[in-house]
Structure 1
Amino acid sequence: MEDVFLRFDSYDFEVDPRFQDGLNRSSCSRDETKLLDMKLFYYNRFVEPIDQTKYKQWSSSSPHVKTVDCCLEQLDRRTDSEIRKSQTAETEATQLSFVEVMRLVQEGKEVPGAIKLDIKPSNQSPTPSQMERMLKPWETASSSSK
């Protein structure tokens, strides 16, 4: 279990764009405990399972735990204009009209924010159904009245 805690401590949340995006969008205050809870939630959800209560017990008894002050300092260093610019760029990229999306598709260009799936045909014939066909309501009514 300690290995998971050490990996969590060494995980670089500052360079993880998905975490930073969620952090920028969150409206909660950025005190140390809230930030740690957000990091634990994110790590548990997207990296690997971690027991939050056991981690907090371990970190309070462990002298070599990395603090979250560095992340708070980096957030404080960002100016309001930098944050507004990144938020504006995100909304412009994600808010396309239907006409703009159609134009991009017709021109063969990628739509920003769309996930490109790697789907290939199997070229196999479909398997026949194993289930009996369900009777229609009028078929069940006429068979029961006979």
Structure 2
Amino acid sequence: MTPEQKATFEAFSKYDFDNDTRFQSGVSSLMNRYKKESIDSDDILERAQWFYYTKFVEPFDLDAFREWKAKKEADVDQEQKRFTFQELVEMIETGKEIPGIKQIPNTLNEGTPSQPKLNVRRKPWESVTE
């Protein structure tokens, strides 16, 4: 997905269809016509919004928008998912990755250690003459 498509999808998602009088005048008759039939009103509304937006603002592919929207919702659901203690225990036992936990590699620093530049500090019981 290109950044332009993402920007278009974001703009479409945030467009204020409720206060657009030209859109509202046309959609009310459309919704009344399909209200009597057993058709998903959310789908009809989304298609009407898409048609209006592509005609008067900016054209885009509805199927690509739906894929982006589904992925975005899945990402939000995954981020907000809280696990029970038992679910966490099962994830740890089976070796599954726990979302939101940063994986730190189990290796040591492979660089060469630096040489000390300061003298070792004397302990109080060590004499100054030693």
TM-score of the aligned structures, taking structure 1 as reference length: 0.41
Structure with higher Rg: it is: 2
Higher helix share: 1
TM-score of the aligned structures, taking structure 2 as reference length: 0.46
